[in-house]
Amino acid sequence: MQRTVNQNSRFHTLISLRKIEKEEKQELVKAFTGGRETSSSKMTIDEMAALIDHLEGENQASIKRMRSKIINIAKDIFAVPDMTQRHWDALNKFLTSKFKAPLHMLKYEQLRNAVTSLERWRDSETKKMLNELLNGF
């Protein structure tokens, strides 16, 4: 039995979220059809379900990595080994003002943008600190 419309929609959403190129998509389809197909339109319900589960698992792993990266960047910004409630509040206030949600509620694309924003914030804070140190000499 062919894949469903819902599966097709979910698959293409995951593909676009992960920015998977055509060739990589074809290789994924080939792997999950046992080499039978390179076009997702010819996948069975079970094959598509397995591929979607795989992509969703990768997506969740990426989300966890990005959240960890955000926390580590925040630790750098605040110059602390561990975040206190005050630090968490400051981080979530920044994320909410910029991305309309605290860390635990950010979606994949928002997390990608948040990493970039926090890296810029950290870099600007580092520059300020270096300038202060240099001006003190």
Q: What is the pTM of this model?
A: 0.68
pLDDT at site 75: 93
Q: Which residue in this structure is represented by tokens 């996948």?
A: 43
H or E segment and range at residue 102: none
Write the DSSP symbol of residue 87. Answer: H
> Stretch 15-22: mean pLDDT, rounded?
89
> Stretch 96-114: mean pLDDT, rounded?
93
Per-residue model confidence as pLDDT tens digits over 74-87? 999 888 999 999 99
Contacts of 79 (CB under 8 A, 6+ apart): none
Q: Using CA atoms, how far apart are residues 82 and 72, in angstroms rounded to an integer?
A: 9
Q: Where do the structural domains in the chain lie, given as residue ranges?
A: 5-61, 63-135
* Cβ atoms 41, 33 nearer than 8 A: no
pLDDT at site 137: 56
70 by Cβ neighbours in 10 Å (0-12 / 13-18 / 19+) ranks as buried
What tokens does 16 get? 């676009």
pLDDT at site 19: 86
Per-residue model confidence as pLDDT tens digits over 113-137? 999 999 998 888 777 777 777 776 5
For residue 125, CA distances in Å to 18, 43, 53, 118 come to 31, 51, 40, 10
Higher confidence at residue 109 or residue 133?
109
Per-residue model confidence as pLDDT tens digits over 26-61? 999 999 999 999 999 999 999 999 999 999 998 889
pLDDT at site 10: 94
85 by Cβ neighbours in 10 Å (0-12 / 13-18 / 19+) ranks as exposed
What tokens does 116 get? 């970039």
pLDDT at site 1: 83
